[in-house]
Chains A and B, each alone.
Chain A
Amino acid sequence: MKFNRRLSAFAAVTLVASLGLTACGSDSDGGGSDAGGDTGGSGGGDISVTFLPKNLGNPYFDTSDAGGKKAVEEFGGTFEEVGPDTATPDAQVPFINTAAQQGVSALVVSANDPEAICDALDEARSAGTKIVTFDSDTNPECRDLYINQATADGIAKAQIDLIADQIGDAGEIAILSASANATNQNAWIDLMEKELSANHPDIQLVDTVYGDDDDQTSFDKTAALLQAHPNLKGIISPTTVGIAAAARYLSASKYKGKVALTGLGTPNQMREYVKDGTVTAFALWNPGDLGYLAAYAAKALADGDITGAEGDSFEAGDLGTFEVDADATVLLGDPFVFDKSNIDDFDF
């Protein structure tokens, strides 16, 4: 009886082990039939574009993906939006793999890490998918084209100019950033520090804290920041989630109107705080335009109109003609400053 029980347990374990092997047989069969090409998006002349933002449920990427969708609908392609629920590179990789399996024409990605998703992107490229990065770049050799929202210099300078203007070019300021690994934010913070030491000697950057692009964390970090630095005159938050959380904290606190807040935000999130006087002005590009441009760039690559070489140019619908710069980069334009006078002209 004991023997039987062991035998049956052994049989069951063997059953599982053999499952993989049987799967192997059917897989190689399947591989053969797929080569015939039945469901693959790249089968026809139809262009399929998949947007992979850093994470889903982020209003910034909702807007950029909506812009991408608009563009894809204009040129009659197939649009998909996929993404992880947390903004980590390891969570992004399965979605890149899936795009490679589907054989989509182009994948438009905002990278959570410049290096970690590279191998997955390479595999997708060898499967014939064109890779366009937007918002956050990877290493240049891992993608075909990068759509840059604005130059890092321009963004850093715009924010420093705004805060200098609002605090009278002197006093303590702090930065509330996104995650500690965020490619963009770290580059901007570097440049902001340089800009401060070069042109604004009376402004001291006393602290940089990380809200992880999470509303509650950013809110709490703002509170902690104001407690730790009683002489703080201004906060720069170069991330849309951060600035909205910081504004929400300031608007209900005794610091409202006394501590200046600027950075990168979206009009819809900031409208209330601009109107109640918590925030005077903030900067951003139009993420909708960014996604729109990225989708047209993806199409141009997939059609073979451009290869990403310097000097290539392509049409991007309503936005006009764009040219590819060095390092296969396309620049959207200068950052835009939103304030009380113009914020109602925008809805994103």
Chain B
Amino acid sequence: MSAPTVSRPDAGLARVYPAHARPLWRRVLLTREVAMIALLVVVYEYSMNNVGNFDGPLTLYYLFLDTAPILLIALPMTLVIITGEIDLSVASVVGLSSVLVGVLHQDAGLSIPVAGAIAILVGAVCGAFNGFLVAYVGLPSLAVTIGTLALYRGIAVGILGTTAKTDFPEKWTDLAKKRIWEDHPYPTILIPFLVLLVAFALLLHFSPFGRGVFEIGLNDEAAHFTGVNVELTKLWLFVLAGAVSAFAGIYYTLRFGSARGDNATGLELQVIAAVLLGGVSIFGGRGALHGVIAGVLLIGVLASAMRLENQTVNLINIVIGVLLVLSVISTSFLSWASGLATRGRGLGPLRRRSSAADHK
């Protein structure tokens, strides 16, 4: 109790680790992430019962095919946003990687794996450029990545110009759409996704590196003084974002069988929307991957169900936009409400107990 009491007016907001004064079940279940998963299940079940053709055999298959690039890019994006940074250039890297695969395969005659490997390398370099400017030069990531959003997209459109490359081997375009098992709605793209999911979950939630990521998001100066290499951590996260986006670009190219400079235009907003919806704080320091996955799938299910109901794309965008705003508001609202509750009971010994837990 004699520890210096740092003034933390937004203690509720900045809280990362569950308050251990509360029982385990509350810590696990009463979280933004679980709320998002519950909402996903509710929307999914509602759609199954009320939306015509949603229970058809193609729904989940198309859902996974459509959301795969968002699922993939959301993984590194979650880490980037948890550090309090943002990467708006991911969709442009998807487009650039798509163009590179097309040009390297058809004009340079390289095989798809080699062309893909080069594209991923270029994606990593794009990410490293972002990361260098943000971490070592110290520029705000919003400005840097808006710049590279235009830059990478410009290069992509510049390379291919007005044309599209469409001649890819069937073996590879089929693989992008193939199901893992016949009669099951799981396309093969889910395999690399699950591998990456496990890798990113270990990295973020079960490694010192991941704890560093959260520390940076809460207070990068404090993180620096506790021995976290802030610059290197951020650089690596942007490199990962670039590389994974490039991989998503390869998938995008093969799935549509078409390499174009304008592929995946606007995808970055869908990724960021899904990540924020999944409970990651835009101010950094808070978030978890399972919430993000639920956020991506929720947007996918909503869009799919509303298309089946013949709603226009504008209405779909409105619903997703409102949901996003509500989810951002709800974070502040919930912490305000819980702050009120704590203050209400906080006159007796309870308050001392909870504040002791706070500083543990």
Q: Tell me the complex Cα distance, A4–B26, Å.
A: 13
The secondary structure that dominates the A interface is helix
> By the criterion CB–CB under 8 Å, are A28 and B252 in contact?
no
Stretch from B119-127, B147-155, B182-190 contacting the other chain: B182-190
Residue A288 is within 8 A (CB to CB) of chain B in the complex: no
B310-337 vs A: 1/0 string, CB under 8 Å? Answer: 1011100100000000000000000000
A11 to chain B: which residues have CB within 8 Å?
28
Residue A86 is within 8 A (CB to CB) of chain B in the complex: yes
Stretch from A77-85, A150-158, A167-175, A338-346 contacting the other chain: A77-85
Residue A93 is within 8 A (CB to CB) of chain B in the complex: yes
**Contacts A16-B294, A94-B307, A102-B52 known; A83 to B260 CB distance under 8 Å?**
no
Q: Tell me the complex Cα distance, A34–B297, Å.
A: 23
Looking at the assembled complex, report how far the CB atom of B301 sits from the nearest CB atom of chain A, in whole angstroms.
Answer: 10
Looking at the assembled complex, report how far the CB atom of B173 sits from the nearest CB atom of chain A, in whole angstroms.
Answer: 7
Residue B205 is within 8 A (CB to CB) of chain A in the complex: yes
> By the criterion CB–CB under 8 Å, are B55 and A40 in contact?
no
Q: Which of B55, B173, B304 contacts A30 (CB under 8 A)?
A: B55
Residue A95 is within 8 A (CB to CB) of chain B in the complex: yes
Residue A224 is within 8 A (CB to CB) of chain B in the complex: no
Interface residues of A in 10-47 (CB under 8 A from B): 11-13, 15-17, 19-20, 23-24, 26-31, 33-34, 39-40
Interface residues of B in 27-76 (CB under 8 A from A): 27-28, 31, 33-34, 37, 40-41, 44, 48, 52-60, 62, 66
Q: Tell me the complex Cα distance, A29–B41, Å.
A: 17
Please report the total number of B residues contacting A with Cβ < 8 Å.
Answer: 67
Looking at the assembled complex, report how far the CB atom of A1 sits from the nearest CB atom of chain B, in whole angstroms.
Answer: 6
- Kindly report which residue of chain A lies nearest to residue B44, judged by CB atoms: A23
Residue A276 is within 8 A (CB to CB) of chain B in the complex: no
> By the criterion CB–CB under 8 Å, are A5 and B60 in contact?
no
Stretch from A115-123, A194-202, A294-302 contacting the other chain: A115-123
> By the criterion CB–CB under 8 Å, are A93 and B260 in contact?
no
> By the criterion CB–CB under 8 Å, are A19 and B37 in contact?
yes
Looking at the assembled complex, report how far the CB atom of B257 sits from the nearest CB atom of chain A, in whole angstroms.
Answer: 6
> By the criterion CB–CB under 8 Å, are A23 and B166 in contact?
no
Residues of B within 8 A of A (CB): 17-18, 20, 24, 27-28, 31, 33-34, 37, 40-41, 44, 48, 52-60, 62, 66, 161-164, 166, 173, 177, 183-186, 190, 194, 197, 201, 205-206, 252, 256-258, 260, 262-266, 288-290, 293-294, 297, 303-304, 307-308, 310, 312-314, 317
The 10 closest A-B pairs by CB, nearest first: A30-B55, A39-B52, A116-B258, A180-B162, A31-B57, A115-B166, A16-B290, A8-B28, A98-B307, A97-B62
Given contacts A127-B58, A181-B262, 7 further A-B contacts (CB under 8 A): A12-B31, A12-B288, A13-B205, A30-B57, A86-B265, A100-B58, A116-B260
Residues of A within 8 A of B (CB): 1, 4-6, 8-9, 11-13, 15-17, 19-20, 23-24, 26-31, 33-34, 39-40, 50, 56, 80, 82-86, 88-91, 93-95, 97-98, 100-103, 113, 115-119, 127, 180-181, 186, 210
